[in-house]
Amino acid sequence: MNTELTHSVVLFDGVCNLCSSSVQFIIKHDKKRIFRFASLQSAYGENIIKHYNLPANKFDSFVLLKDGMIFTKSTAALMVAKQLSGIVKLLYCFIIVPPFIRNAVYTFIANNRYKWFGKKEACWLPTPELKYLFIN
C-alpha cells in the first residue's frame, strides 16, 4: 500500500455510472495528477476497507485516502473538489455546512444513484493512456 503515501487515492463504486462519471470528471480536472483511483470492489479497495475498518459490502460511499487518513461521503468529495482545477474548487466552501446536513444530501443521492444514473455489469475500464492512474 505504498501508493497512498505519494498520491491521494479515490475509492469508488466501480459499477455505478454516477461514480464512474465522477472519476472521469476528476481525471479531467486533476491537472497536477494528484489522484489515483481504485474501485471499492478491487483487491486494493478491499484491503483499504479492512485496514481502516470501513463497512464491508457497502459501496455507497466515495472514499478518499489522503496522507494516511480516510475521508468519506461529502467530506471526501469536497476535499477532492478543493484540489481540482477550475471553478469546481469553489464547491469546497460547502465544507462549512455541518456534516450531518451534507451527508444527508449525499446519502439521498447515493441511495438513488442506480435508479437515476444506472449500473454497469462490470467496472469501468480506463483507456490505456489513463491506466497508470488506477490501482488494481
pLDDT on residue 26: 96
37 with 135: CB under 8 angstroms?
Answer: yes
- In angstroms, rounded to a whole number, what is the distance separating the alpha carbons of residues 96 and 86? 20
Positions of the chain with pLDDT under 50: 1-4
Q: Would you state the pLDDT for residue 58?
A: 66
Give pLDDT, residue 67: 92
- Structure confidence at residue 62 (pLDDT): 84
The β-bridge relationship of strands 35-39 and 8-12 is parallel
Residue-wise over 26-44: b if at least 16 C-beta within 10 A, else e? bbebbeeeebbbbbbbbeb
Per domain, the residue ranges of the chain are: 3-133
The answer to pTM > 0.75 is yes
Predicted pLDDT at 3: 44
